[in-house]
Amino acid sequence: MPELPEVETVAAGLRPHLVGRRIVRVDLRFPTIVRHPEPEQFVDGVTGRVVEALTRRGKYLLFHLTDGYLMVIHLGMTGHLQLFEPDSDFAPHVHAAFLLDDGKQLRYRDVRRFGRLLFGTEDELLAHRAIPRLGPEPIDDAFTATDLYRRLHARRAPLKALLLDQAVVAGVGNIYADESCFRARVRPDRPGSSLSRPAVRRLREALQESLTTAIANRGSSVDSYRDAFGERGSQQERLLVYGRGGQPCATCGRPLSTIRLAGRTTVFCRRCQR
C-alpha cells in the first residue's frame, strides 16, 4: 500500500499540472469506487470545479475545489493516479478519468479496487465517517516526542500495531514502521506503553528520517507503486529491514527475523533491536 512518502511524491508530481485547472468532465467507469456520496452526486459535485490546491493528509490526497469542497482520493493497495493526453489508450482497470480544461486527463487505475474516491466538505466527510480522524503528521516540526510518548502510553498494543494505527500517527504503514523501529533500535513487538522517553525520542527521529529520506528518493516501489508519471521510486533499494527477512542485518550481520504483527509481516533484528 502506498504510504506517506509515496502519496507525497504523487501529490508533488501532480500539483504543478492540476492547480488552477478546471475539471470539465468525469468519466466514472467503475462507480462503486466512489464511497461518498452516491456516484451520480460525486460526478455532479466535481464537474465544473477548479482545483485550487492539492495537499496530502496521511495517506489521502486532498483536491481542494471551488467553494470549499474536497475531492479525496485514497490509493488503497494498488491505486495509480497519472496524467495522460486525451487520445492515449486506456489501460485495463482505469476506473475514473477526469478531463481537465487544458485537454489532459487525470486517470485513476486500481487493479485490486481497494482505493476510494470521496467528495464533500471536510465537515461532511468527517460526519459521515468517510474519512477518519487522523493523528499527527510525523514529518511536521510540530510532531514532538512528548506527543508521541503520550499516544503510545495510552494503550498496551504492540508498538508496530500502534504505528500502523492512523489515529496514532498519520501516514505510516508496514514499510516505514519496520524501518523506523530498526533505526530507533526498538522491538516492534514490545508494548508501545513500555517505551522509555529516550526510546520514544529515538523513534520520533527515526520516523522523520525514514519518511523524509523516502520522499527524497520518490518512494518505495516494492510492489505496484508508481509516481504520477508512471516512474518507479528508488527507496526500495535502500530499505534496511523491510522485505529482507532471513538476510544479514546491515548493522551486525545476524539474519533478520520475521514474525506476524497486526496481521502484517514484520522484519527486525533480534540483536540490534532489544
Residues serving a catalytic function are 2-3, 59, 264
Say which amino acid occupies 129: R
Taking the CA of residue 254 as centre, how many other CA atoms within 13 Å lie in the half-sphere pointing to its CB? 11
Q: Count of CB atoms within 10 A of residue 211's CB?
A: 23
CA-to-CA distance for 49 and 106, rounded, in angstroms? 14
Nearest residue to 68 (alpha-carbon basis) of 106, 116, 14, 122: 122
Look-up of cell digits 532471513: 246
